[in-house]
Structure 1
Amino acid sequence: MSFITILFNLLALLYVGRAVQLAVQIVRQWNVLRQEPLTGAKQRLAEQAAFFVAVPPAVLVHELAHAVAIWLFGGQVVEFGYRVFWGYVVPRGVFTPAQNWLIAVAGTLGSLAFGAAIWLWLRRNPSRTLRYFGLRAFRFQLYFSLLYYPIFSLFLPIGDWRTIYDFATTPVLSGVAAAVHAALLLWFWRADRAGRFEMVAFDSPAAQARHTALAAATGNEAAQLAAIDSLRQGGATHQARRALEAFLIAFPQSAAGHLQRALLAVDRQGRIGKETAEAARQALALGLRDPRQRALAHQLAATYELERGDGRAAEREMDAALAGSSDLDALDPAQRGQLHRLRAQSLRRQGRYEDAYREVGEALQWAGAAGQSGLTQALLDERELIEKHAGRDLSALAGQEAPASPSPRA
């Protein structure tokens, strides 16, 4: 048994464990999953099911397609390996190069057909959760068949695509495969960017109805932005980007629109890059009316500065966000806590540990007022980090007034 086979078997065991766990969870929550709306939690569960639950039968169909092609060409299947998340078929017989090519491509066609069948079966199901599962299962089979598996075959000495792209043996068939493959990849890329494989998650049926009403109000700037924001928060980020692009063509000077562009530029891991910071600053320059939006724009820009190691620039952003008592009164306690937390981090980055410690104390008060246990714990961790960097106990500073937030400097 080769090293690759042993490794694949071990990975399959891990996958099977998670698949069983997920299947039990789905069975127990079946009635809830079928009910509306499609929530974020159901969305995440469907995403996982598209891989851990839908892949095992897809692998079986893939290997059966190989076997059927072998039988059609008069060969025999001397070994059929099925390991739930991977498999193989060992044929016996004399095949022409074209027949070998067709046997190899049959597996990929089987995988694509299986994914399309799930989507077609569930696309009109009354449950949006099941429709979403079918859509994501189809997307995964497209991704696996058109991108992952060809790359996998390129770097390992096994895989159907080594036969499919054997130009020396089957130049015409391999050339046709390359053209069709490229066309399908282009279609998949465009469809994915257009959000064809997305569905929006909502916290309640009322939120879903509100989004539908907002999306229908095409002539209303505020309604359009609210609909775009619900797309973003509901996980349909590609759809949100497309809608925002059209919105900014119609309203290029919309400050709130550019703030939405900043939020959409944050990556899936929550990292904030230059594009987010620039869009946030453009929104501020255009004049955000809502104090909460202004604070959020400064918060995004400050986070970017912290991630690039510029504590002074981050402090300036926080000073601007925390300036003006009338604006601050409009912020909820949780947002106030986050702003003071970022200011504490910017002070720590500059080595101003005592000021940073006091700032954390103020942030803790706002986190307590908001009932945010997660934020409170993050602030306690931040306080420990400040003391570690300072190299001394700073607890005597607890309760002292935090450094004043001056007016923003140029």
Structure 2
Amino acid sequence: MPAVLGLFNIFALIYVFRSVQLTAVIWREWQTLNQEPLTTRKKQLAEQASFFIAVPVGVFLHEMGHAIATWLFGGRVIEFGYRVFWGYVIPAGTFTPSQDWFISLAGTIGSLLYGLALWLLLRRARTTFLRYFGLRAFRFQVYFSLIYYPIFTLLLSIGDWRTIYNFSATPLLSSLTIPLHALLLGLFWWGDRIGWFEMPVFATLAEQQRFEQLAQESGHNPEAQLALCLALLQGRAVNKARHLANKLFRQHQTQSGDLAFVLALLELERKSHISRKAQHYLEQALQLGLTDSYRQAYAYQKLAQYYLERDKVQDALRMVEAGITAVSPLVHKENGRSDTPLVLAQLLHQRGRSFLRLKQYEQAYSDIQQALALAQAANATAAIKFYQEELALVERHAGRKLDLSPPHVP
């Protein structure tokens, strides 16, 4: 056991170093952090602060919970160990099994009350950075208290939950703890699932203001709710977006191609590959009709990838051809999206990959040449390097140098 405690101390020292480092960063950037909007960087800093800054206070209050319970029952605290990121209390006195049970539980009560107090204190803060910090700190305290610490106690011979669930000493209290513990876990799981602990991020203040206006206007308007769902997904509040999309689905049973498209995006977020369910939603979206050509192109691109993963090359070619048809007219359109050439380049590359599977090397090389030309025109350095490597790959497969005429860019 001394070896385990020594390991805890080593980790605590590492965490303290990171805590000091993070505190210095937040101090330097405090003025910026308290300005809107909630950007990706601010969100990351708030999440890190919910552990490296909030936890040391939580550890102290957790151990104080044990100490206060000990004093309430007439005992003494002969040692109060505080190691910033972990701690312990050694009580002395004569306690009944029920009192031992409560002394052990008091630490968890202290952690949960601390997390709840942080959220209540900051949920109406002036800035989203502080509101998000409070929300994530609350989430971590609940997660630590109800999931991590009980599992930790089961795996090691130390920890409060061995006393809390000591059925031989406190059969009634330990038995009553189970449904309460399960209820709190269920509420935590449900809150996590519906995105209660999430907030979307934005690149600009105008973007955040548009979102807030959209949230106010959505009400019972399905189109506004769908737009809100897409904004949540774009802002990386994935569980919130999924909850809203599922609600819309139950109400309207996917009578909208755009809703089916959102459901497909959410399914793609969940898995590293394109699942059968995602394929179903993408095809349904195209059948019902999408209001945006870029969404059409994306749907066709993902369907082509789905078929390529299953060696259905002709089906993949059919999908990618449709995607190219959808996006090609937008390349030279005035006031169009700046990334349109790169979207077309991705589709051409995908068609080239399909031709490579069929060992039609000239066609594959020609398509990837066109993708490279589009990337060069857009000055996209990473894409240029990637397509150059892909051209070399096609030549390796062909076993010869492919010297084709300069590509015609659509």
Category of TM-score, reference length = shorter chain: 0.7 to 0.9
Alignment of 1:236 with 2:244, yes or no, is no
Give, in whole Å, the separation in 2 of the partners of 1:235 and 1:61: 33
Contact 2:51 2:140 in 1 (8 A): yes
Partner of 1:372: 380
Amino acid at match of 2:252: A
Give, in whole Å, the separation in 2 of the partners of 1:9 and 1:355: 62
More displaced stretch, 116-125 vs 151-160: 151-160
Give, in whole Å, the separation in 1 of the partners of 2:389 and 2:69: 61
State the Cα distance separating 1:380 from its structure 2 match. 4.3
State the Cα distance separating 1:126 from its structure 2 match. 0.6
Matches within 5 A, 1:193-204: 193-204=193-204
Partner of 1:157: 157
Partner-residue secondary structure (3-state), 1:360:
helix
Matches within 5 A, 1:250-261: 250=252, 252-261=254-263
State the Cα distance separating 1:229 from its structure 2 match. 0.8
State the Cα distance separating 1:386 from its structure 2 match. 5.3
Give, in whole Å, the separation in 1 of the partners of 2:20 and 2:353: 43
The one of 237, 253, 278 equivalent to 2:280 is: 278
State the Cα distance separating 1:96 from its structure 2 match. 1.9
Per-residue CA distance 1:107-142 (angstroms, 9 max, x = gap): 111110111111111111111110111011101111
State the Cα distance separating 1:373 from its structure 2 match. 3.1
For structure 2, which runs of at least 5 residues remain unmatched after alignment? none
State the Cα distance separating 1:102 from its structure 2 match. 1.1
What is the aligned residue count?
402
Question: Alpha carbon RMSD of aligned pairs, Å?
Answer: 3.0
Give, in whole Å, the separation in 1 of the partners of 2:33 and 2:325: 46
State the Cα distance separating 1:367 from its structure 2 match. 2.3
Partner-residue secondary structure (3-state), 2:268:
coil
Per-residue CA distance 1:243-286 (angstroms, 9 max, x = gap): 22333323632001100111122236865433322211211122
Partner of 1:226: 227
The one of 262, 265, 270 equivalent to 1:263 is: 265
Per-residue CA distance 1:152-200 (angstroms, 9 max, x = gap): 2222322211211111211111111111111111222222222222222
The one of 269, 293, 297 equivalent to 1:291 is: 293
Give, in whole Å, the separation in 2 of the partners of 1:115 and 1:41: 23
Contact 1:312 1:350 in 2 (8 A): no
Give, in whole Å, the separation in 1 of the partners of 2:10 and 2:350: 44
Give, in whole Å, the separation in 1 of the partners of 2:77 and 2:310: 58
Alignment of 1:122 with 2:130, yes or no, is no
Partner-residue secondary structure (3-state), 2:290:
coil
State the Cα distance separating 1:101 from its structure 2 match. 0.9
Give, in whole Å, the separation in 1 of the partners of 2:5 and 2:134: 30
Partner of 2:345: 337
More displaced stretch, 349-358 vs 133-142: 349-358
Partner of 1:26: 26
Contact 2:81 2:89 in 1 (8 A): yes
State the Cα distance separating 1:353 from its structure 2 match. 5.8
- In structure 2, the CA distance between the partners of 1:6 and 1:276, relative to structure 1 (3 Å rule), is farther
Give, in whole Å, the separation in 2 of the partners of 1:269 and 1:44: 23
State the Cα distance separating 1:143 from its structure 2 match. 1.3
Contact 1:59 1:85 in 2 (8 A): yes
Give, in whole Å, the separation in 1 of the partners of 2:103 and 2:233: 43
- In structure 2, the CA distance between the partners of 1:271 and 1:144, relative to structure 1 (3 Å rule), is farther
- In structure 2, the CA distance between the partners of 1:319 and 1:127, relative to structure 1 (3 Å rule), is same
State the Cα distance separating 1:218 from its structure 2 match. 4.1
Per-residue CA distance 1:218-249 (angstroms, 9 max, x = gap): 46554332221111111222222222233332
Give, in whole Å, the separation in 2 of the partners of 1:361 and 1:17: 50
Give, in whole Å, the separation in 1 of the partners of 2:245 and 2:363: 40
Partner-residue secondary structure (3-state), 2:198:
coil
Amino acid at match of 1:228: C
Per-residue CA distance 1:26-78 (angstroms, 9 max, x = gap): 11110011011212221222122112221121112112222222233333334
Amino acid at match of 1:290: D
Partner of 1:77: 77
Q: TM-score, structure 1 length as denominator?
A: 0.86
Give, in whole Å, the separation in 1 of the partners of 2:372 and 2:324: 16
State the Cα distance separating 1:148 from its structure 2 match. 1.8
- In structure 2, the CA distance between the partners of 1:317 and 1:103, relative to structure 1 (3 Å rule), is same
Partner of 2:61: 61
- In structure 2, the CA distance between the partners of 1:235 and 1:286, relative to structure 1 (3 Å rule), is same
Matches within 5 A, 1:37-186: 37-186=37-186
Give, in whole Å, the separation in 2 of the partners of 1:6 and 1:385: 52
Give, in whole Å, the separation in 2 of the partners of 1:266 and 1:21: 36
- In structure 2, the CA distance between the partners of 1:302 and 1:116, relative to structure 1 (3 Å rule), is same
Give, in whole Å, the separation in 1 of the partners of 2:12 and 2:393: 41
Q: TM-score, structure 2 length as denominator?
A: 0.86
State the Cα distance separating 1:311 from its structure 2 match. 5.6
- In structure 2, the CA distance between the partners of 1:281 and 1:169, relative to structure 1 (3 Å rule), is same
- In structure 2, the CA distance between the partners of 1:352 and 1:57, relative to structure 1 (3 Å rule), is farther
Post-superposition, which runs of at least 4 consecutive aligned residues in structure 1 deviate over 6 A?
none
Contact 1:276 1:300 in 2 (8 A): no
Amino acid at match of 1:131: R
- In structure 2, the CA distance between the partners of 1:38 and 1:400, relative to structure 1 (3 Å rule), is same
- In structure 2, the CA distance between the partners of 1:45 and 1:309, relative to structure 1 (3 Å rule), is farther
